[in-house]
Chain A
């Protein structure tokens, strides 16, 4: 039954660009209906909101002339690349941001739309790759976020180039991903996927992980200065994320697009 559903959905997958891996797409379809279960397979992503959202918010809101204390990101336009079911897009919109959620998977975008609709959250969801999106949205966003996405992207150079092009000068790009180290391999694939089943098998492939230096070098090529690299740490037992001094397993980084 599960196999049948899966095949039915393969037909719906429309690939928009070379940077999205066909195999990756298939994998996500398997747990699309559990996307919004706080305790389900994607619980690490839900839990991550608790550190990534305040981080994004505090980095952007530097002056304290906030009009409405419940909407700190009011007036900011944000592009959430690889938004999936909208786990990060929705809370960003709820604190006032004008969010565009981008995902190449049409089914995910549709489910994200339904969820946002039901919960009366205003997010502009678009089924597209960032390379296509930039054609009509050059230098349009105050911030571009690719959270837990880069580790699924084959051509990182093209991907980041498009992300940066979407960004206004002085805008910030936020990335969270997995480091390319033996520790990360051990923690995220050997342990998390295969031993304790904290995340579904097949979620990650080591070859696609990237070190902070690699990403920093690419960003520099596109005129971005890396401001911070923070280590992050996931505790499987409590399903919580923490900032950690050491970026050797997972990390978050922010870079600013310089004025020409």
Chain B
């Protein structure tokens, strides 16, 4: 009550006859006064996406007088580059590299290590069809392979230099109170009892997002019967290792991502039963199984082979140059650090609400077969950064729905498109039913020679 009087006095209002219309505002503010920890923006979750978002917003000069807090439940472990490569890597597209360069984080990766993909070669184990993007001799890169922990380290190094961003490690957020119509603040409670409030809460808390739960949005999701196996691979010799290989096997896609001239990273999605077997093997047995998966000639349908040949002749007759230099994947010699990950699909029907937004895996989760998961998150970051600039530049509050709505519609348009393509590919390749294999092979072969379509696909993938 004191605060009510106080506020009213400041505003030259007699409390008795006016508070009928001020009550709601004041109620929410008295609440906020208990929270000494008030920030403009709080980011929940400091994974790859949360840290990069904090850094991007912190470096945005339109937001320079805003206070930003990042809360992460895990420890801030100091990082020194180990000799051994980590088995958790991501493939970053040129759009993501540009964002990392803009926030000055890329230079830390550049001075450490990363793999370059100049060519992506996708093959179908059930036919001769293949599709390639990019050229080994080209100056343009298709993507970059970076270890997760190195990426986070590079971003954190920049984050530490920012005065307007504070980071709380080893603190778990327990509860979120999102604002109703008359309120304007988000309040949150930590497990240790601490309380914070902000104008805008951004959920970067990953696939089991609690922020998403608090928003009460619908979440469309399912688990694949597939699991992902990751490992670091060594070849028997040094090669010009700049091709990312992807082979679609009847059990799921397998990918080799280049790290160095003699090492690649493996991402192998396969059935649960098969994964169980693979993980139970000795290293030598695993290498044999892997080489077999890369090289095995599956029993093919005659119809497919004949039709593909005919189609190829047709394409040549129409003077469309086919890629004659078909490459073959390297022979694997040894492996290191096997691990498994569950794979699933998820998409939130809404990314925003009053005073709240979801970014990264909290909003969407896709099959790693196209290596797009974290790139979609980085796309979210640059879009949200722009939308918040617009809001500030128009004197709007950060949590204003009419601006946040722009973020949601732009990103959903893009993400849903990408997710549908990836999901479609996943389903298309789960079958060995001849007519479908034939159609997909024809599609793959045709796309491979139709330069404009390929160009479009590459542009789409690197946005």
Residues of A in contact with B (beta carbons under 8 Å apart) = 5, 8, 12, 32-33, 36-40, 46-47, 49-50, 53-54, 57, 69-70, 72, 90-95, 107, 110-111, 113-115, 117-119, 239-240
Q: Complex formed: what's the CA distance from A33 to B8 in Å?
A: 15
Contact present for B182 and A36 (CB under 8 Å): yes
Interface contact A70-B63, CB-CB below 8 Å: yes
> Least Cβ distance of A207 to chain B in Å?
30
Given A37-B182, A113-B11, A114-B22, A47 contacting B402 (CB threshold 8 A): yes
CA distance A47 to B13 in the complex (A): 29
B396: which of A5, A12, A36, A49 is its contact (CB, 8 Å)?
Answer: A49
With a cutoff of 8 Å between Cβ atoms, the chain A residues found around residue B26 in the complex are: 114, 118
Contact pattern, B 51-93, Cβ under 8 Å of A = 1, otherwise 0: 0000000000111110000000000000000000000000000
Tell me the nearest residue of chain B to A47, going by C-beta.
B402
Question: Quick check: B20 and A5 within 8 Å, CB to CB?
Answer: yes
Cα–Cα distance between A118 and B8 once the two chains are bound (Å):
10
Q: Which B residues lie within 8 Å of A94 (CB)?
A: 395-396
* Chain A CB within 8 A of B401 CB: yes
Asked if B309 is at the interface (CB within 8 A of a chain A CB), the reply is no
Alpha-carbon gap, A31 to B181, bound state (A): 14
Partner of A111, one of B21, B63, B354, B403: B21
Q: Give chain A's interface secondary structure class.
A: helix
Contact indicator per residue, chain B 146-164, by CB within 8 Å of chain A (1) or not (0): 0000000000000000000
Complex Cα gap A216–B95 (Å): 49
CA of A94 to CA of B199 in the docked complex: distance in angstroms?
A: 15
Is the Cβ of B18 less than 8 Å from the Cβ of A93? no
Q: How far is the CB of A57 from chain B (nearest CB, A)?
A: 7
A70 to B8, CA, bound (A): 30
Task: With both chains docked as a complex, state the minimum distance between the C-beta of A234 and any C-beta of chain B, in angstroms.
Answer: 12
B402 and A57 form a contact (CB under 8 A): no
Q: Nearest Cβ in chain A — how far from B270, in angstroms?
A: 45
Q: B interface, by DSSP: helix, strand, loop or mixed?
A: helix
Q: Is B240 interfacial (CB 8 A cutoff)?
A: no
In the complex, A118 Cα to B403 Cα: how many Å?
Answer: 22
Chain B neighbourhood of A111, CB < 8 A = 18, 21-22
List residues of chain A with CB within 8 A of the CB of B13: 110, 113-114
A-B residue pair count with CB separations less than 8 angstroms: 93
Among residues of B, the one whose C-beta sits closest to the C-beta of A8 is: B17
Q: Across the interface, do A117 and B11 meet the contact criterion of CB distance under 8 Å?
A: yes
Most chain A CB inside 10 Å of its own CB: which residue of B24, B62, B395, B400:
B395
B25 within 8 Å of A (CB atoms): yes
Cβ-defined contact, A40 with B181, below 8 A: yes
Q: Are B395 and A118 in contact (CB under 8 A)?
A: no
Partner of B10, one of A50, A90, A95, A117: A117
Beyond A36-B182, A92-B395: 12 further Cβ-contacts under 8 Å? A33-B22, A38-B400, A40-B181, A54-B393, A70-B393, A91-B394, A110-B11, A110-B13, A110-B18, A113-B13, A114-B22, A240-B402
| B227 to A: closest C-beta gap in Å | 42
Find out whether the CB atom of A39 lies under 8 angstroms from the CB atom of B396: no
- Distance in angstroms between the alpha carbons of A191 and B453 in the assembled complex: 47
Task: Give Cα A37 to B377, complex, Å.
Answer: 31
Closest 6 CB pairs of A and B: A91-B395, A33-B21, A94-B395, A113-B11, A95-B395, A114-B11
Which residues of chain A are near B281, meaning CB under 8 Å? none
